[in-house]
Amino acid sequence: NQKVVLITGCSSGIGLALAVRLAKDEKKRFMVYATMRNLAKSEALVEAAGRTLGRTLEIRQLDVCDENSIKACVDNLPMRRVDILISNAGMGMIGPIECQSIDEMKTVMDTNFFGLVRLLKEILPGMKMRKSGHIVVISSVMGIQGILFNDIYAASKFAVEGFCESLAVQALRFNLNISLIEPGPVITEFESKVYEEGAKIDLSKADKVTADMFTNIYLKNYNQIFQSLGQTPEDVAEHTFKMITMENPPFRHQTNSLYTPMTTLKYADPNGDLPIETFYKMVFEHDKVFNASLNFLKLLRWRSRKSFTLGKEKNAS
C-alpha cells in the first residue's frame, strides 16, 4: 500500500529534489506525482528521476494559479486520492515597494498563498472523507520573520502560515497532519531569479536613501548570505522526507539550524522590538557586527552537522 504523493513546482529546486528523493525510497513507500506548470521544462526532472520514471514517479501538468489545471490533475489520479500533498511551488520578489506594481505583488500572493488555497479546496475534502492525509507546505523562515526588502514575499509566507495555523485545528478533528517546512536561504534557481529581477528594478521611484540601501547594502550582501547560510535543495528535501516518514510530524520545522538564533529572537521579546533592532544593527550599524554574526553562525553550522537527527523514522507498513 504505497502512499500517493502530489508535489507542485517540480521542474527545479526543492520540488525536484524532493520528488526524486521520495521516488527513490528503497522501501518503495511512495507513488510520486511530480507536477509542474510547464511540461516543456521537465528535462532536469526526467534525468534526475532515472529509472523511477513510470514506476514510482510520474510527471503531470499543474499550475497552482489555475483552478482548472489543479482539478484536471486531481481528476486523473486513481480515485482522486492524495495521501501526502506537498505544496512547494512559489516565487520570490525583492525591492522597495515604491518600485513594484500592485499587479506584480498580486502575482506573488496568487502563487504563494492562493496557490495553496486552491490546492486544498480540491484535495482537502477527500482527505477529510478518508480521515487520513498529510499536508506539507514549503514555507520559509520569512513566514515567521520579515526581512528587509522582502516585504511582499514575507507577507505571502505569513499568509500561508496564518492559513495553516487556523486549518491545523480543524485538521486534528479529521486525523490529518499539517506541517510547515521553514527553510532559510536555499541555493536554487529561486535565489538567482530573485537576484536578477532585483538587479533590474527601476529605482527611479524610490528616494535616494532607499535606492542606496537596496543597491549598496541589500544586493551587495545578497550573495554572501546565500553562500554562508545557504542549504542545498537536497538537504531541504532530506529534512522534508524525515517529516513525511515520522510518526508524529511537528507543525513547524526549520531546516537550517544556522538560522534558529534569528527566529528565536522573535519569541524572546513579546514586544517584537528585539528582532527588528537586531536586524537593524546587523545591516546598518557596522559590518563588524554582521561579520561576527556570520562567523558565529558558521560555527553553529559546523556543530549542527555533527548532530543532525530528526526523530525516528516510521517503519514500513
User: To the nearest whole angstrom, how small is the minimum distance from the Cβ of residue 132 to ligand NAD?
Assistant: 25
Helices (H) and strands (E) in the chain, counts: 13, 7
**Can 280 be counted among the known catalytic residues?**
no
- Minimum distance of ligand NAD from residue 271's CB (angstroms): 27
Residue ranges binding ligand NAD (CB under 6 A): 8-9, 11-15, 36-37, 63-65, 88-91, 111, 138, 140, 183, 185-186, 188-191, 233
Q: Is 220 annotated as a binding residue?
A: no
30 vs 114 by CB, closer to ligand NAD? 114
Task: Dump strand ranges (E) for the chain.
Answer: 3-7, 30-36, 57-61, 84-87, 134-138, 177-182, 252-254
- Is position 21 annotated in a ligand binding site? yes
**Sheet architecture: strand order including 84-87:** 57-61, 30-36, 3-7, 84-87, 134-138, 177-182, 252-254
Residue nearest to ligand NAD (CB): 13
Q: Which is nearer to ligand NAD, 8 or 263 (CB)?
A: 8
28 known member of a binding site? yes
Shortest reach from residue 15's CB to ligand NAD, in Å: 6
Beta strands 30-36; 57-61: pairing state: parallel
**CA gyration radius for the chain?**
20
Out of 153, 218, 222, 259, pick the active-site residue: 153
Going by the DSSP 8-state scheme, the letter that residue 33 receives in this structure is E
26, 132, 177, 221, 254 from 126: Cα distances, Å = 28, 9, 14, 46, 28
- Annotated ligand binding at 12? The verdict is yes
Residue pointed to by grid coordinates 534526475:
48
Residue closer to ligand NAD (CB basis): 64 or 127: 64
Is 103 one of the annotated binding-site residues? Answer: no
| Residue whose CB is less far from ligand NAD, 114 or 214 | 114
Question: Which residue numbers belong to the known binding site for substrate?
Answer: 140
Positions marked catalytic: 153
